[in-house]
Structure 1
Amino acid sequence: MTQVLYLFGSAAPPVHGLPDVVRRLQEQEIDVCVGLTPMAAQWLADDIESLEELTGHPVRSEYKAPGSGDVWPPADGILFAPVTFNSMNSWALGLTHHFVVGVAAEAIGKGIPTTAMPCVNAAYVQRPQFDRSIATLRGAGVSVLYGPGGFEPNQPREKRPFPWHLALDKIGAFQQ
């Protein structure tokens, strides 16, 4: 049976890697549905059509209208990566003004396995709310790939590869 994964992304530079991540997940026979924050959707505007062709599902960044049918199959799991400082804190605080944050928040209550990997710089993580948000989400059952064995903050303006392999390894374990 094919598993359905919701792949969510916020507006951080690694979001540009989503097409490759989708392909890698599909190689594992995972049915992928892509959701983006509104700003991430703007960043990927030129890639939306190709992502929809690749996945066979519409890319979503907005809530659906009440009473309208769902355009995605139900999720077996969620990977939210990259998650920005804003999205991580909003999610932990239950501020669901963005579609992907709302779905991720609801997934906790539905018991849907959810993995998150932030993409934040070392200046942002000095804010005490960020550590509280990580602890809140972990306490709610979200697997947050942050710190040793996960994403480690870079210095502001420092460019380095996003550790997608860590998230994909976690998703591979989710399938078994």
Structure 2
Amino acid sequence: MDQQFTQLITRSGLTLRVRPVRPGDEAALAKFFEEVTAEDRRFRFLSVVRVGREHVAAMTQVDHHQTESYVALDETGTTILGTAMLACDPMLETGEVAISVRGDQKNRGIGWELLRHVERQAEARGVKRLMSIENCANKSAIQIEREMGFDAHAYDGDMTLVVLQKGLAA
């Protein structure tokens, strides 16, 4: 597993240092989610407002093949500003993406750059389709995903959700 940072620069000029999570990131991730708005936590987990130990463990204890979780740190590499998770089916055909950004860091391009990063990582693994399940009220995430070429479809059985999908280059 490569622990090197990937440097990303957002549209606002913010420099991010992105890397896969490590087991030692649990405390920093717990602190990060305290800085994510309650509404954004609900959007990210589709019901949970409080992020517990089991959620953080699921983000840090990944197989780094079928599932990967990324942290986007500030320029110094010390503070988590955003997270992204890619969870693929066993055949690596479809990958689901989920992104969170600190409340005080929104509208700086972090979510956009993390989604682009996850898309590149998914393509490198041979994933054929990315998808995201969003609460219909999460207008900003839906807008970003549509701008990046995702198509929106109704979520069967739940009118409050929408599925956004994008085919990737094979």
Whether TM exceeds 0.5 here: the answer is no
After TM superposition, the score normalised by the length of structure 2 is 0.32
After TM superposition, the score normalised by the length of structure 1 is 0.32
- Higher RCO structure (Cα 8 Å, ≥6 apart): 1
Greater percentage in strand: 2
Greater percentage in helix: 1
